[in-house]
Amino acid sequence: FDAISIGNMIRRGQQKKRDLRRAKKVADEQISQTRGTYQPPPREDCAERRYERPIGDEGLLQLLVMFWRHTGSTVDFVLIIQKRTWEAWENTARIDCAHGTCHVHYSDDAPASKHLLTLNSATDVKTAMAIALKEIDKIADMIMQGEEGSDD
């Protein structure tokens, strides 16, 4: 490598980081503009329910569903796709309700990436859960297709 090609590689790396920062900023702005007024009741006042559902036939993925009910209504939920590792289940993508919005985190520790529904009432949470279950299935399909493609 000569100095010019190394300089070009560095600039390309910097450009990719700058593009990622810009995309994150746009996503953050979109999420903040879609925040609703809904605040769930305190979790200690709610009944927590959780279950796991296998995804696919290989036993490598599962959906962890956690939701909280208060006075007969679902008032909050989290859907998490988990991937089996040697020791345990590792969280991957997640959909949750926070800050008055139902949104997707394509990586469990990443900021919100996609807005699904603005939440202004518990009724919106029920609607959001139906939307989120469809969206999480799409994400699971993408993850499984990626898994299948990685063996080549």
- For the segment 52-93, what is each residue's pLDDT rounded down to a tens digit? 999 988 889 999 999 999 999 999 999 999 999 988 999 999
| 91, β-bridge pairs | 82
- The per-residue pLDDT for 24 is 64
Quickly state the pLDDT bin for 152 (edges 50, 70, 90): very low
Question: What are the b/e assignments for 98-126, b being 16+ CB within 10 Å?
Answer: eeebbbbbbeeeeebbebbbbbeebebbe
- The per-residue pLDDT for 1 is 58
Quickly state the pLDDT bin for 146 (edges 50, 70, 90): confident
- The per-residue pLDDT for 150 is 44
Tell me: the pLDDT tens digits for 103-144? 999 987 777 888 899 999 999 999 999 999 999 999 999 988
pTM (predicted TM-score)? 0.74
Is the model more confident about 114 or about 21? Answer: 114
How far apart (Å, rounded) are the C-alpha atoms in residues 93 and 108? Answer: 5
For the cut 70, the answer to whether the pLDDT of residue 98 exceeds it is yes
- The per-residue pLDDT for 133 is 96
Lowest-confidence pick of 34-43, 46-55, 75-84, 140-149 = 140-149
- The per-residue pLDDT for 151 is 41
| 68, β-bridge pairs | 48, 76
